[in-house]
């Protein structure tokens, strides 16, 4: 039976419930995936910037700590170049190890 807004006291409540269901269905299939994707992108970028900043600060701290430790043994100029040499050797060795591990036996 067709509802009449003049004689049906629950007409407004049912109309609002229907509109609410339609809007929430549309939002569930259109807006919500976009918002989730945008949040993932923003938080991923923020996290990656934080990780890059932490790695840079860690490397700077390693260099300064190694220079301070070497200052006790040799003069400052030599400590700087020796610390650069030690860390470049460590990073080079790490690069070689990672390059060797990039392929498994099945890929070869």
Is 64 within the bounds of a domain?
A: yes
Instruction: For residues 14 and 22, give the distance between their C-alpha atoms in angstroms, rounded to a whole number.
Output: 12
- pLDDT for residue 1: 43
As a three-state string, the secondary structure of 37-101 is: HHHHHHHHHHHHHHHHHHHHHHHHHHHHHHHHHHHCCCCHHHHHHHHHHHHHHHHHHHHHHHHHC
Is 55 within the bounds of a domain?
A: yes
**pLDDT tens-place string over residues 49-84:** 999 999 999 999 999 999 999 999 999 999 999 999
pTM for the model stands at: 0.63
Q: How far is CA 43 from CA 36, 48, 51, 54, 95, in A?
A: 11, 8, 12, 16, 29
Is 5 within the bounds of a domain?
A: no
The count of domains in the chain is: 1
Is 3 within the bounds of a domain?
A: no
Band of the pLDDT at 11, cuts 50, 70, 90?
confident
For residue 105, pLDDT beyond 80 = no
Domain region containing 59: 11-100
Is 21 within the bounds of a domain?
A: yes
Is 56 within the bounds of a domain?
A: yes
């Amino acid at each position: 039976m067709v509802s009449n807004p003049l004689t049906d006291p629950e007409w407004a409540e049912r109309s609002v419930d229907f509109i609410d269901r339609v809007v929430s269905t549309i939002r569930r299939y259109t807006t919500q995936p976009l918002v989730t994707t945008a949040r993932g992108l923003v938080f991923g970028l923020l996290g990656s910037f934080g990780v890059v900043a932490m790695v840079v600060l860690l490397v700077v701290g390693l260099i300064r700590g190694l220079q301070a430790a070497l200052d006790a043994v040799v003069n400052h100029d030599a400590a700087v170049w020796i610390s650069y040499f030690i860390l470049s050797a460590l990073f080079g060795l790490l690069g070689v190890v990672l390059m060797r591990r990039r392929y498994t036996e099945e890929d070869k």
